[in-house]
Amino acid sequence: MDRLDTLRVFLRVAELGSFTRAADSLGLPKASVSQAISRLEAELGTQLLHRTTRRVHLTADGAQLQQRAHDLLDDMDEVQNLFRRQPSELSGRLRVDMPGSMARNVVIPQLPAFLALHPGLEIELSATDQRVDVVREGFDCVLRVGTLDDSSLVARLLGHMRIVNVASPGYLVAHGVPRVLADLDRHALVHYVGTLGQRSPGFEYFDGQHYRNWPMQGALTVNSADGYSAAALAGLGIIQVPEMGAREALRSGTLVEVLPDCVAEPMPVSLVYAQRRHLPRRVDAFMTWLAGLLATEMQRQP
């Protein structure tokens, strides 16, 4: 096993947090994986992984090597394919993450066309509402909706998504249609939080100068976009969602917009990726395609 293969083994162990799972995914004996990591640690003169009975974790030196190893292997992939393919052709594997609703409604339906243009690419797509660790989990790029909080990443703002207030027809028949903010005191809000146990700020609106929150009752709190939409469809209350995600339901009439003049602040949409000397062409090409795909959905000015 050469040094590049050893680095690939190290990255897979770091990614999966397990020697056994890494060995299975690579088609290697567990002993070979363990020996490769031990040799790498001996050559570098440092411990790269903390081993426990349940999981393997990166040390501080291991985390530093992880990013350098990604950069090195990306560069080697570029070099190896430099003369094998036409310069315009892309190859290799992309690991990306984005919200589930964005993947389901916007990106995946258009993905066949992108892959048809670049048949040498393989894409690992994570679609989750939870924030992933871009560096530790080895993501090439991540599409994030909302405020960014990690200044160590490179961020490319794509625009802002308009937010709409919606509820099911059945809910509105039972509780009436709110016409002004004060009417919300007689309504229920489906509360959305990033982590269960957090307190929902309430119904967000613009007062002409600032965005504020109107406290509202509501029996249900969720922490996923799918659960949020499903709760509205079930008649459990009003929700505030990106228009992009509610468009089909609004067209079909299964959701109805309310209080169109009292909407929440548009949500920023950004592409983020780790700092690196050279961004692989396949990553740059995918991000350019994704930005173009979302361009018509974005409000350039919030």
pLDDT above 90 for 151: no
- Which residue would you say has higher pLDDT here, 72 or 251? 251
Report the alpha-carbon distance of residue 184 to residue 217 in Å, rounded.
Answer: 9
d(CA 260, CA 275): 40
Structural domains of the chain, with CATH: 163-257 (3.40.190.10)
The pLDDT-based confidence of 268 (bands split at 50, 70, 90) is very high
> Is 231's pLDDT higher than 50?
yes
pLDDT above 90 as % of the chain: 45
* Average pLDDT of every residue of the chain: 87
Q: How far is CA 13 from CA 63, 97, 172, 255, in A?
A: 12, 20, 52, 45
What pLDDT shows up at residue 221?
96
Q: Is pLDDT at 266 greater than 70 in this prediction?
A: yes
Strands, DSSP E only, in 112-266?
120-127, 141-145, 153-161, 163-167, 191-192, 203-206, 211-214, 221-222, 239-242, 256-257
Q: Tell me what pLDDT residue 16 has.
A: 84
The pTM is what? 0.69
d(CA 42, CA 133): 28
What's residue 131's pLDDT?
Answer: 83
pLDDT of 78 over the 70 cut: no
What is the DSSP secondary structure assignment for residue 17, as one 8-state letter? T
Say whether pLDDT at 11 is over 50: yes
